[in-house]
Amino acid sequence: MSKLRVAVIGSTGRIGSEAAKAVDAAEDLELVAALHRGDSLDALAEAGAQVAVDLTHPDAVMDNVGYCVRNGIHAVVGTTGWTDERLATLRGRLAESPSTGVLIAPNFSVGAVLTMKFAQAAARFLPTVEVIELHHRGKADAPSGTAARTARLIAEAREAAGLPRQEDPTTHGLQGARGADVDGIPVHAVRLQGLLAHQEVLFGGEGETLTIRHDSLHHSSFMPGVLLGVRRVVDTPGLTVGLEHFLDLD
Ligand SMILES: NC(=O)C1=CN([C@@H]2O[C@H](COP(=O)(O)OP(=O)(O)OC[C@H]3O[C@@H](n4cnc5c(N)ncnc54)[C@H](OP(=O)(O)O)[C@@H]3O)[C@@H](O)[C@H]2O)C=CC1
Ligand SMILES: O=C(O)C1=N[C@H](C(=O)O)C[C@H](O)C1
């Protein structure tokens, strides 16, 4: 059976370099291109890439994925920065290339996907909730894509359960002290040398708390998800947001 031809964009980066090695080592995949800043995207089509993995920067990802969709190259995207507006633009582009698949995975690690799932389950039982994400000092965006997604999923679960928006009792405080408001959920971002990628979801109810914590201790934690995304996206036309859709979680 012929190998799936895969490119990695952002191949000099922290996660991109790990992804290029993982693709190269996989028996059913062939690493046909490894691009970094300044490389022409035409190298993707010239190399005959069937799937491109984007692990770059929020400033670059829209152009990269746009190129892929225009050229019928499936995309697996870990890069952050996906606003509703950007997603709508991408959906419009995919409508013009209906057989192309794009997976946007806010987090490729199974533990982080499970954290989101468990948080969604807890959301309707415990009325107060805040998210703390903790990352390495090199991270460009805040809050993390994972934290933003987690907060959004919690907010949706709360709304579905008929829970009201959380009241914030703070009347005196410094700006930013209560974090960013993501769909009514406070999200706090820590950037600390020595960390990689971590998240706590803190729930509070009458006389009790529940903390769901996940730690990615090495970029290898993301690789099974990257490879799963590559293998599945070729048979999944259109836009998929979240690796959970490729995992049999129920
Ligand atoms: N979904 C997930 O599970 C994960 C997602 N991420 C996300 O992946 C992205 C990359 O993270 P990380 O590896 O830490 O970042 P790095 O800064 O280490 O690497 C970024 C890579 O993208 C390239 N790049 C940066 N800016 C541009 C640009 N404007 N145009 C083209 N290429 C560019 C860099 O090239 P150069 O070296 O020349 O600057 C480098 O190869 C982030 O959005 C991060 O949040 C990270 C980990 C897991
Ligand atoms: O920049 C990172 O490192 C990570 N980015 C993703 C995010 O913003 O959620 C995934 C993970 O947290 C690592």
Q: Is the CB of 78 under 6 A from ligand 1?
A: yes
ipTM over 0.95: yes
Q: What is the pLDDT of residues 163-184, one digit of tens each?
A: 999 999 999 999 999 999 999 9
Parallel, antiparallel, or unpaired: how do β-strands 74-77 and 51-54 relate?
parallel
Parallel, antiparallel, or unpaired: how do β-strands 208-216 and 180-182 relate?
unpaired
Please determine, looking at this structure, whether the domain spanning 110-167+174-217 carries the CATH number 3.30.360.10: yes
Ligand 2 atom 3, closest CA: 197
Residues in the annotated binding site for (S)-2,3,4,5-tetrahydrodipicolinate: 136, 145-146
Cα 114 to Cα 98, 169, 200, distances in angstroms: 30, 31, 12
Q: What is the location of CATH 3.40.50.720 in the chain?
A: 4-104+220-246
4-104+220-246, CATH topology level: Rossmann fold (3.40.50)
Q: What is the pLDDT of residues 51-68, one digit of tens each?
A: 999 999 999 999 999 999
Q: Long-range contacts of range 136-141, CB-CB < 8 Å, 24 or more positions apart?
A: 136/14, 136/191, 136/192, 136/193, 136/195, 136/196, 136/197, 137/191, 137/192, 137/193, 138/14, 139/191, 140/57, 140/58, 141/58, 141/80, 141/81
Q: What is the location of CATH 3.30.360.10 in the chain?
A: 110-167+174-217
- pTM of the complete model beyond 0.95: yes
